[in-house]
Structure 1
């Protein structure tokens, strides 16, 4: 099948023209200008039917130990197998670590991949590889999955942004060589506390809602003059973009999706009143309201995240695992019960696994050769185990899966052709995925 290549987008009005129209404030692009940029470059990539309309990526920043989470090695030597015991799951014969008792109950709704492998073992380089499907290059930063989806998907009917990050954006989760219009909208702050702030949508303190709306009225008047001369695609798309911007202002309809305080107490308790638990709940609300891609960045503890070079076992058992176990299991169950799981791809992973051998600080170090990814929804097989590592968890020995393979799987599930091409700012065509293949078991 011939691959598709996007055309270099027709440039929109210059910054000077926008300034003359009063559309830019002192801080740069206005909210509806952000949507205008997206409207100018949006294009369809519907070359195959989509199994999923949306995706939730749960990013375990720092790289969790695969052996202590989803690939236990109970028969390995003590300095490899560690302190945790495997437990049975809802899938006969499949075990995971005892630190995930709630996730064990929903594994029959998931696909577990144990053969993820990458040559990268540096945080930033590995994150780029896993979040884009490409190894990092000094010449080019590639766009993240969410940015690609934001570019190729039409805006939702509910006027929500196509790409949202909670509570912040992981490294290399941005638009890369695409324009910043496809960066994520960031819902900053702790969702378990009152007053979550949608950083990119909250007007500056000196700019009131009334002033924003007066600006909008002036733009509408200018557009009305333009229409009197001729109906242009510029004025038509500006209307659509401005409508989206209005919906996202406080008091707008789409804004309500961010207000998790509207959820019943019982639902919030089920997810857990923790940052990661309430982030999972917020992700569900955003998907339900029409967002296309939500990245949940689980940073764990401070800046260390899941980077357990020291005290791996108590840190996992007491701090990192419990809120994730509760929140993600509730998310998968909730999506399934609401009939949303089949139209939503959930994927959970970090940038790499960790060394099989425990270091002198009772921790595990970076290890790119072996990693796990948990997938659910999007019509993927339920209760499937794909891939296997060697007895010590050092490397895959069956069905290895590269980051490019994961990228191809994600895009295919969302109805995006992995062979689709973008052009760099210099005009060079680049495929979304290079040498990535969807495993036969996942091709439904």
Structure 2
């Protein structure tokens, strides 16, 4: 179940005393139930793994922060510089040495350059899908989209579950918080006929695993998580009365039971009440509890504050948080034109600052060893620069990404590209491999299958584990 940036409880009034709920009451009760998230059965997962002879890692990461660089960052201008290539390929940026001898990255990632001893940089990511939407699905789910090479097909029930939805199913949070949170929006591309990228929800697992969406600008001083703040005239005692209303409505929601299943519906209802009524849960979403120094370290912008919120949430027990690059009104990392100015002035600085702050913060808090940090887009950019507008076009055949923390081997480069970063020269890595390695590092049985709503089995991953990346 996704959440829009709307305060569903604002303006609630006293309920009428009648046996038949009013339309207003139905909407109010539905708003409360919308806050819940489905929970999986961890014991069933472990039993399935044992019966199937699946070996889980002895040491597993407890959480993952997935930083999705929506639009497709240029590999040549970020993590895989080619200073000896012709000018029409190498561009205007220079490589800079980093903390690890022999590893160079873009000069504008100045803070990240001091932290490469914590990173595994992958320079051989590859697939053949140049469309934002379908390749976005592969990146976020680790599975091919239902319709390949398509920017016309929006989300559907046929989508594979987001990695967060899988984690929500297989490792439900026991902290009172959701198991899967995404922010600050659902990745959407205005130039794609399909609009919203598929693969950002529960997919064939069902809406119970859609996750919680924290929408809006988290850097806005007036921002708060919509739906988790009780209006001034709604105390916990009045909230309890709404619990009674929800019980009354149960008998009138046969269709909802059929679509979600009775057990999932009960989880929606009970989890919603638990979240609204818990001051500790609401505290986890309160960025005001962070010092000004910490907030500045991450960057006082929408991306920096989203990444800081991700750290807060994993610290409070959320196992997977996905931060999608925000709607900047300029097509995100999709730099078809003015590539170098966009990267230098708008894209790299906040990305560099937030990622570096996150790694340092997690390490200082003793959380880096148990938290995987992933930084990746859906594809890369063409080696040749477009002459008329200094842009780079879509290029899925070779691109770069980062894994760190959570059992990932630090201070290394995995894979290599050819002399123009056009194709992998060694150790090609698919989006499926990237996702499968994350799931494996989190101790999830990547060879296992789950049933969809029609009781059909689906493998939860289709890639290989990159054991060379693991400690």
TM-score for the superposition, normalised by structure 2? 0.80
Tell me if the contact between 1:43 and 1:151 (Cα under 8 Å) persists in the aligned partners.
no
The CA RMSD measured in Å over matched residues stands at: 3.1
Whole-angstrom distance in 2 between the partners of 1:69 and 1:239 = 47
TM-score for the superposition, normalised by structure 1? 0.85
User: Deviation of residue 164 (structure 1)?
Assistant: 0.6
Report Cα offsets for 1:369-421 as digits up to 9, x if no partner. 01111111011111011000000010101010011111210110111111111
Residue number in structure 2 paired with 1:198: 225
Tell me if the contact between 1:185 and 1:198 (Cα under 8 Å) persists in the aligned partners.
no
Whole-angstrom distance in 1 between the partners of 2:162 and 2:309 = 21
Structure 2 residue matching 1:26: 3-state secondary structure: helix
Residue number in structure 2 paired with 1:153: 171
Whole-angstrom distance in 1 between the partners of 2:231 and 2:394 = 41
Deviates more, 1:39-48 or 1:79-88: 39-48
User: Deviation of residue 154 (structure 1)?
Assistant: 2.4
Residue number in structure 2 paired with 1:66: 75
Whole-angstrom distance in 2 between the partners of 1:293 and 1:262 = 21
Change in Cα spacing, 1:431 to 1:192, as seen in structure 2 (3 Å) is: same
1:320 aligns with 2:338: no
User: Deviation of residue 137 (structure 1)?
Assistant: 1.6
1:142 aligns with 2:160: yes
1:278-357 aligned within 5 A: 278-299=305-326, 301-302=328-329, 304-357=331-384
Tell me if the contact between 1:129 and 1:136 (Cα under 8 Å) persists in the aligned partners.
yes
Whole-angstrom distance in 2 between the partners of 1:202 and 1:423 = 35
Change in Cα spacing, 1:428 to 1:348, as seen in structure 2 (3 Å) is: same
1:4-19 aligned within 5 A: none
Gaps of 5+ in 1: 1-18, 224-233
Alignment match of 1:406 (pick from 434, 437, 445)? 434
Tell me if the contact between 1:301 and 1:320 (Cα under 8 Å) persists in the aligned partners.
no
Tell me if the contact between 1:280 and 1:331 (Cα under 8 Å) persists in the aligned partners.
yes
Residue number in structure 2 paired with 1:216: 243
Tell me if the contact between 2:124 and 2:423 (Cα under 8 Å) persists in the aligned partners.
yes
Residue number in structure 1 paired with 2:11: none
Residue number in structure 2 paired with 1:45: 45
Change in Cα spacing, 1:66 to 1:238, as seen in structure 2 (3 Å) is: closer
Alignment match of 1:162 (pick from 167, 172, 179)? 179
1:177 aligns with 2:204: yes
Matched residues, number: 413
User: Deviation of residue 277 (structure 1)?
Assistant: 1.0
Structure 1 residue matching 2:204: 3-state secondary structure: coil
Whole-angstrom distance in 2 between the partners of 1:73 and 1:222 = 63
1:130 aligns with 2:171: no
Whole-angstrom distance in 1 between the partners of 2:392 and 2:266 = 54
Structure 2 residue matching 1:374: 3-state secondary structure: strand
Alignment match of 2:413 (pick from 385, 399, 406)? 385
Whole-angstrom distance in 1 between the partners of 2:300 and 2:63 = 25
Report Cα offsets for 1:325-345 as digits up to 9, x if no partner. 111100011001110011101
Alignment match of 2:393 (pick from 365, 368, 373)? 365
Residue number in structure 2 paired with 1:374: 402
Whole-angstrom distance in 1 between the partners of 2:44 and 2:267 = 17
User: Deviation of residue 220 (structure 1)?
Assistant: 8.7
Change in Cα spacing, 1:28 to 1:242, as seen in structure 2 (3 Å) is: closer
Structure 2 residue matching 1:305: 3-state secondary structure: coil
User: Deviation of residue 92 (structure 1)?
Assistant: 0.8
Residue number in structure 2 paired with 1:5: none
Report Cα offsets for 1:300-350 as digits up to 9, x if no partner. 621501000000001100111111111110001100111001110100101
Structure 2 residue matching 1:25: 3-state secondary structure: helix
Tell me if the contact between 2:284 and 2:316 (Cα under 8 Å) persists in the aligned partners.
yes
Whole-angstrom distance in 2 between the partners of 1:297 and 1:219 = 34
User: Deviation of residue 252 (structure 1)?
Assistant: 2.1
Whole-angstrom distance in 2 between the partners of 1:30 and 1:260 = 24
Residue number in structure 2 paired with 1:25: 26
Change in Cα spacing, 1:27 to 1:61, as seen in structure 2 (3 Å) is: farther
Report Cα offsets for 1:282-305 as digits up to 9, x if no partner. 111111011111011113621501
Alignment match of 1:264 (pick from 273, 291, 303)? 291
Whole-angstrom distance in 1 between the partners of 2:21 and 2:179 = 27
User: Deviation of residue 195 (structure 1)?
Assistant: 2.8
